[in-house]
Amino acid sequence: MDSEGVVAAKVADETTKPAIQEDGAESKAGMTDLLMLTDKSQLQALAMLLRNNEELMMSQAIKSETERIEYLKTVSDCYTRTMKLLDDSMAARTTYERSGGTRSLVARDMDDYVVYGLNACLQNVRNCCVRLDAIDKLRAHYDALADAVADPAANVEGLAAEASEYKAAMWQYCYNQRSASARAHSRAYSQALKLEGIDFAELVRRHQLRLGYGSKGEEFEDLDDTQKLEVYNSIIVESGRAGLPVRMFSSGRSAGGPKIAATTWAEAVSVFIMAAGNLAWDVFTTEHEVEAILKGSLNLLAGLGGFAVEAVVGAAVTKAVANVGAGVFACSLAGFVVGAIAGLIFVGVSGLLINLIIGSPRKVPDMSKLMFHTAVMPDGMALAYAVSH
């Protein structure tokens, strides 16, 4: 049996083993907690397993040959771009470590940041269309960091502080999204929002005003990306889900205090606002069991070649109605976000749609001309346990 077959064979009989953390300690939460893969070969194996499983799933779920080719290309791109990013970050780290100095520290943290970011993409984002968008954002930020550290005139000390903070933040975003232990920290918070009848847009509005963004009537979509990130981080921190610096570099200051010029912030904010937005939605929906509800309704549409989706602002979070005859799936905006990230509802432009919603929680993008599909996407978190043993 070849190496791909060996790894794939491990999935069936090893995914029930107890979880281990990065340091090898056994996890009491079992497979419901994320396992951070820091061994590059294991991360490469995870990317390969996802590709193989997604190719099979797409071949079965997509009826149209034209669409199937498009989706299979997305699956392939996720794999090849993951491997290229891993190779490039590892090569840069090796090169700078030979010469030592502060640049070697920057390259080390850049490499770790990429590893944590790819863990987030492969384990937390089950929708390959959304994942490809996330990988591309991570790639753009890595390239900006690589260009900066290669610049002979660079403020290397500033870059070192910057890369270190990005690395620490990515760990928090990655580790605290889907893990059961992490969700437990914000369960009471989510339950309180549910009992109060607070929707996601109102939650965002509260934190926006608390941070002083809205005194002149600005809506969330009027804020710049840095301010939006602060709002999402404020929600995450208040919920108890993760210990993030609310402002990071966005105010021109390091979380530790001294003023630092964030050389690559323009690229970084695109990565982090997506991670923070996804995590904030995860915090909000913890008590609603949206995924289970969506699965039950979407099963009715699995046999169709494609269907329309109507995401309704103001609808109950758990709204999920499948009209098989009309080929329409109606759900709340929260349901659409959860379903899209989980891969239960997917379309080629899923990443773009999620970006638009994260940038404007009160509005729904125009989806009237899009045909969606449904399938249970492979679970990268479960596959990570297989490749780690």
Report pLDDT for 174: 95
Q: Are residues 129 and 255 in the same domain?
A: no
Q: What is the mean pLDDT of residues 103-117?
A: 98
Helix (H) or strand (E) holding 328: strand 328-332
Choose the final residue of a domain: 132, 152, 175. 175
On whether residue 386 sits in a domain, the answer given is no
Number of folded domains that form the chain:
3
CB 78, CB 51: distance < 8 Å: yes
The pLDDT-based confidence of 50 (bands split at 50, 70, 90) is: very high
Choose the final residue of a domain: 262, 285, 308. 285
**pLDDT of 2 higher than 80:** no
Q: Are residues 357 and 324 in the same domain?
A: yes
On whether residue 387 sits in a domain, the answer given is no
On whether residue 382 sits in a domain, the answer given is no
The pLDDT-based confidence of 31 (bands split at 50, 70, 90) is: low
- Give Cβ neighbours of residue 171 (< 8 Å, ≥ 6 apart): 36, 116
Q: Are residues 91 and 110 in the same domain?
A: yes
CA distance 323 to 215: 43
Q: Are residues 249 and 336 in the same domain?
A: no
Can you state the angle between helices 3-14 and 380-387, rounded to 10 degrees? 110
CB 123, CB 32: distance < 8 Å: no
Q: Are residues 47 and 156 in the same domain?
A: yes
Judged on CB neighbours under 10 Å (0-12, 13-18, 19+), 163 is buried
Which residue(s) pair with 331 in the sheet? 311, 320
On whether residue 385 sits in a domain, the answer given is no
Report pLDDT for 193: 95
CB 211, CB 231: distance < 8 Å: yes
What does the mean pLDDT of the chain come to? 88
Q: Are residues 24 and 150 in the same domain?
A: yes
**Alpha carbon separation from 263 to 22, 142, 144, 151 (Å, rounded):** 30, 12, 9, 12
CB 54, CB 377: distance < 8 Å: yes
Report pTM.
0.89
H helices within the chain, ranges in order? Answer: 3-14, 40-61, 65-99, 102-119, 128-150, 156-175, 180-185, 187-196, 200-210, 225-239, 265-285, 290-298, 333-342, 350-359, 380-387
Of 277, 300, 280, nearest to 374 (Cα)? 300
Q: Are residues 163 and 18 in the same domain?
A: yes
Q: Are residues 191 and 170 in the same domain?
A: no
- Tens-place pLDDT, residues 127-184: 999 999 999 999 999 999 999 999 999 999 999 999 999 999 999 999 999 888 889 9
On whether residue 302 sits in a domain, the answer given is yes
Choose the final residue of a domain: 285, 304, 323. 285
Report pLDDT for 33: 84
Q: Are residues 157 and 87 in the same domain?
A: yes
Q: Are residues 336 and 236 in the same domain?
A: no
Q: Are residues 33 and 74 in the same domain?
A: yes
Report pLDDT for 261: 54
On whether residue 315 sits in a domain, the answer given is yes
Report pLDDT for 249: 59
CB 86, CB 40: distance < 8 Å: yes
- Tens-place pLDDT, residues 206-218: 999 999 998 888 9
The pLDDT-based confidence of 19 (bands split at 50, 70, 90) is: very low
How far does Cα 289 stand from its chain's mean position? 19
Burial 7-28 (b: 16+ CB within 10 A, else e): bbebbeeebeeebbeeeeeebe
CA distance 131 to 113: 17
3-state secondary structure of 195: helix
Based on DSSP, count helices (H) and strands (E) in the chain, helices before strands: 15, 3
Q: Are residues 352 and 266 in the same domain?
A: no
Domain that holds residue 203: 180-285
On whether residue 228 sits in a domain, the answer given is yes
On whether residue 280 sits in a domain, the answer given is yes
